[in-house]
Structure formats: structure tokens, C-alpha cells
Amino acid sequence: MTIFLSFLFFSFFSGTAQSTKQKSYIAEKQSSYNITVKNNLPSIILSSAEKRWVGDKDDKSILGNKINYADSFEKVFDIEAYSISPNNKKHKVSYIGTEDREIGNIFVHDMKFRYYTFPNIEEGSQTYSLYKKEYQKPQFLESYYFKDYLDCKSSRVILKVSKDIEIGYIIQGNTSNENIEFTKEINGDFTIYSWQMVNIEKEEKESSSPNFSYYSPHLIFYIKNYKNNSGTQNVVGTIDNLYRFYAQTIKDINKQDQTQVKEKTAELITGLTKDFDKAKVIFDYVQSKINYVAFEDGMGGYIPREAASVLQKKYGDCKDMANLLNEMLRYAGIESNIAWIGTRHNNYTYKNVPSPIVDNHMITVARINNQDLFLDATGQYSLFPNVTPFIQGKEALTKIDDLKYKITTVPVIPSDQNKTNGKLKIEFNSNSLIGQANFNLNGFLKTQFISTYKASTDKNEMLKGYFARFIQNIQTSNVDIKNDDLSQIPLEIRYQFELDKWIKKTDNQLLFKPILFFPYSDARINVEKRKTPLENDFKKSYNFEYEFVIPQGYTIDFLPENFNFTNAFFTASITYKKVNNTIIINQEMTMDTLLIEKNNFETWNIAIKNITKQYNQNIILIKK
């Protein structure tokens, strides 16, 4: 560290005083971990050092620094921060504060940060941030992301590992195969591992991007085992060791009297004979009556609370809801177990990353009719036995007993189960179209609608926005909504509508666009600008049938040709036909992917271009 500090005092840029409004950047960032055994336990100390060069001093993102940590498991100390002005004058940070982090909907947590602001920042200044962090729980180590929110000249992570410790590691997220220089050397009783990237662009977060774990290069490392006076002690690094750690954390749950849990279960399943029906009423009860309140305070972020307590208090987080659901299913005589799982937020598998980093969620897995049902009660409006969108395709580590487990993959829900079916009967009225519409929403589309509709304080305004998502000037009336419940019966929306100025009228012709709904019309990817993959919440499909009544005295002059398109991401078709005095149009589309990588942007865009071109087709009617 002394050598590093000496380097930091040297002015990195000659002539920086003349460089105004240039982009700020990170000159060097380095995380060095010293991993050894002390007092018969692993000791993990991080020494972090970062140097930035200031371009635009009005850029608030470079005026200070935050050091995040989990108060129950990590200790931050030896913080040193200062700036060097263009004329080589040092200004030390005088105040370092501590605050709780604001983390979404997590009600109780132990996540904090230390913060400070650099004094006397000028264009051409250099800032220096140094601190140490002690990891007090060897299972809970952090990833190192090479990229940052600024361009970076050098990003390096070093692991200095004692001979008494065996580690594992993996590079994830390097989808572009960027060069990461790796070295490994033996120095006495230590093995020193080093990874370095140089001259790297800042990381981007774009709309509809997956989490950084999918595309930003990062190192994950973990302690497999260590030697102390009692022999070799396993930590994680294999799925068996990870499961043993998990099983140990939950071995003492559900020790309270569970009479109320049993009685509530018996009440819910009264009169039911089939396990599927019993499981549904129990699942619906937990997801609708237990309020989701997240707790991430120390081991409380990993250990479910007592099922009896959760039932009594009527709130809990994913672990608590999974535990209560599991206990109630068992009291109903249904085979069931809790399971650890990483949502789609984490792009990891248990084989590649056998450490707690792989997981951030807990669900219940019930076995009914020789089939695993992956039940996530945090969805609130999930339609039993559907999974939630954010665990599709992910591995679940399901508990069998204290020693045995199984890993199964949650299915990805096919597009035909997340379907919008629409039927529209339409007539001409001067320059307007008037008609009746009947829509059925299935699967995630039903859940999505109900979630928004139930939470809306102004339901009329919400519906107005929903109907206008394709056509802004549509006027709707007599809206009727049915089956807005937790059944698998499609949600039904009926309404009447008027669409003004949709017809171009001449002395002897009527010209109009027959397609009124335009899925993915705005989904073309800017290939030149977009740098990150694009993620869809779920696969989906649409089927619209339009029935246009031909006005009296008119006949068809022009119908567009039928359209068909298929590629890896989309299947679409539009057909036109005359039936008596009506024109029947069938519009179908299937979107069949969850993630579009950069190398597939053009394939995606070809589909969008071909499909959306059809939205502008016209029908021409002519007077007889």
C-alpha cells in the first residue's frame, strides 16, 4: 500500500489545469484481499484504493464517495480520502458520515454506507479513496466488478491466499470476451492471484437491460475450506457444502407451538379432497393475506421466521412466506419443501457459483400428481400453480432433509399460456369507427393487469391509459371487467369504443387501416447505440379477430395480401377474407424469447420491421 500511495501523489496528467469540461475517469482502482487463518478462523481483509481524475467539477457523481457494507457481517475501517489540486495541493476530507442505505421495499436491513465529499474540487483535480473492510462471515464475500460508472484506465483485483486456505473463483459476465490479464504466483506461504483490465469504458445501464451480472465482467471468489487446529473445515465451494451451510441456518426454525397453523390449514381445506385444490386455497391465502415485508437484517436475511409468528402477524418476506406455505401444505398432507433460488436478477448456476451469491430468494416446492409445483407466494396475484415471472428458467435448490437436496429447473412459461385474445365487431360511422370489443387475458398478462388495476386509486384513468396504449384518441364506454380474481379463468374485458378520424373518405372511396393493435411497434433496437442485452419479463402471444361490417352501398376495392413471418424470436400472421357483408381479419403474434443478446439485435429488428410494416396496410372500399 505504501508503494501505491507514493504513485498516487504523482500528478497523473501533465497539463490537466488546461483541460476543462473533459470527461472524468478512474485512473486506477484496486481491491486487494488478504485471506489467511487467524485464531482458527478465516480472516478476510480487503484493502481498497481508487484514484479519479476530475474533468467536469459540476458532475455530482465524482464529488464524493460511498462505501457500502453489511453491518452484521462486515467492518469498515482505516478510511482515508483526499484530493490533489492541479497545483499539487492536498486537501483532506474532514468529515466521514454513516447512514442506512435505502433499498427498495426492504423494511428492515443492516445495509449501511460510509460517505464523504471531497473538498476544493477543481477541473484537473485528482481524488483518492482508501479504506479497509473485514469480512466476518467467510460464506458472504462480494463480487468484484471490473467496470464502473466512469471510464477506467486500470481495474485490478488481487487475492493473497494463505496455504491453509483453498479458494475457488470464476469470471462471469464477460460476454464480449474482453481481455482480462490473469497471473498466479507463489510467494512463501501465500498464493497471489491477480486479474486486471485496462482502458475500459464505463458500464452502461439501459432500459430493459438485465442485471449487470449478465454482461458486466466480474470476479466471484469463495473459500472452499481452511485448515485449523481441528483439521480441515469446509466452507462453501461445492453444492454439498453450500447446502450444508443452508441447512445449518434453518435447523432451529418452527419450534413454536403451531396449533394456529394447523387449525387455519384445516379451516381452509374443509370439504376439499384433491391435493391440487387444497394446495390452491392454501397458496391463495398466503399470497393474499400475508403482506410482503422484506427483512435483511443480519442472519434474518437468510433464516425464515417462525411459521406461527408469520401467520399471527400477517406479514413476512419471501423466506417467511415460503416457510408458512410449506408448513401449511404439510399439515394438509401434501409433500412439500422449501427451496433456495436465485431470481433472474442473478445470472448464475449452482455448478458455476456454489456460494450464497447464487441465491437471493426462497420459494416452496410442492409435489402433486408426480409433478413439482414451484410456488412463490410473494407475487400477490399469481395464478396457482403458475410461477412468478422472475424465477422462470432458474435452478431451485430444494431441501429433502438435513443432508439431502435436489436441484430442479423452474420451467419457462410458454407464450401460449400468456395470451391476449381479442374479438372486435366494427362498423363505420361517418369518419369514425365504432364497435364492441371483447378481450381475454391469460397467465402473466392477467396477473399483470390485475396487479395494476387493484393498486390503482383512479381505475377509470388506469383503464383509459390501458385502452390507449396503441391508439391515443380512442374513446371507450360501458367497460365491464370479469374474472379479476386468482382463478385460471381468463380475465375478460368488454367495452364499446369509438375511433375518430380513422377513415379517409372521398366521393366514392373509403380508406382505413384495419389493424387497431400494434404489439412491439416501438420495440426496434438502436443497434448503433445500445450496448447491453434486452430482457423481456415473459413470453407472450396475441390473437385479434376484427369483423368489419361493409357499409351499405360499398364493395371491396382492395384487400392487403395475407402475411406470414417466422424467425427465432417471433411468429406472426395476418389474414384477410370477405365473409358475406363483412371483412374478417385475423392477427396473430407470438414473442418467444426472454433475452436478446447483442449479436441477435439484427435478427430481432428484422422481425420488428417486417411485422410493423403490416400495421400500416390499408383496405379500400368503393361505392358500387
Whether the per-residue pLDDT at 457 is higher than 50: the answer is yes
Q: Give me 528's grid cell.
A: 448503433
The CA distances from residue 31 to 158, 196, 284, 589, in Å, are 6, 11, 47, 49
Residues 22-37 pLDDT 10s: 899 999 999 999 999 9
Which residues are CB-contacts of 458 (< 8 A; sequence separation ≥ 6)?
none
Whether the per-residue pLDDT at 500 is higher than 70: the answer is yes
Q: Are 180 and 198 in contact (CB under 8 A)?
A: no
Q: Model's pTM, two decimal places?
A: 0.92
pLDDT of the residue at 105: 62
* Mean pLDDT, the chain, integer: 93
401-411 average pLDDT score = 97
pLDDT of the residue at 227: 98
Which helix (H) or strand (E) segment holds residue 623: the answer is: strand 619-623
Percent of the chain with pLDDT over 90: 86
461-479 average pLDDT score = 88
pLDDT of the residue at 293: 86
Q: Are 562 and 575 in contact (CB under 8 A)?
A: yes
Q: Are 129 and 64 in contact (CB under 8 A)?
A: no
Compute and round to an integer the Cα radius of gyration of the chain.
Answer: 30
pLDDT of the residue at 531: 93
Helix ranges (H only) for 126-190 are none
Of 17-26, 396-405, 419-428, 565-574, give the lowest mean pLDDT range: 17-26
**DSSP category for residue 354:** -
Neighbours of 92 (CB within 10 A): 11
Whether the per-residue pLDDT at 5 is higher than 90: the answer is no
Whether the per-residue pLDDT at 14 is higher than 70: the answer is no
Q: Give me 493's grid cell.
A: 374485458
pLDDT of the residue at 19: 41
d(CA 92, CA 84): 9
466-490 average pLDDT score = 91
Residues 509-541 pLDDT 10s: 999 999 999 999 999 999 999 999 999 999 999
194-204 average pLDDT score = 95
Interhelix angle 275-289/259-268, rounded to 10 degrees, is 120
pLDDT of the residue at 174: 87
d(CA 124, CA 8): 14
318-323 average pLDDT score = 97
Residue where the block lists cell 479504506? 131
605-612 average pLDDT score = 96
d(CA 337, CA 334): 10
Whether the per-residue pLDDT at 314 is higher than 60: the answer is yes
pLDDT of the residue at 102: 73
Whether the per-residue pLDDT at 341 is higher than 80: the answer is yes
Whether the per-residue pLDDT at 64 is higher than 90: the answer is yes
Whether the per-residue pLDDT at 2 is higher than 70: the answer is no
Whether the per-residue pLDDT at 107 is higher than 80: the answer is no
Residue from 296, 269, 241, 315 nearest 71 by CA? 296
Q: Give me 403's grid cell.
A: 443432508
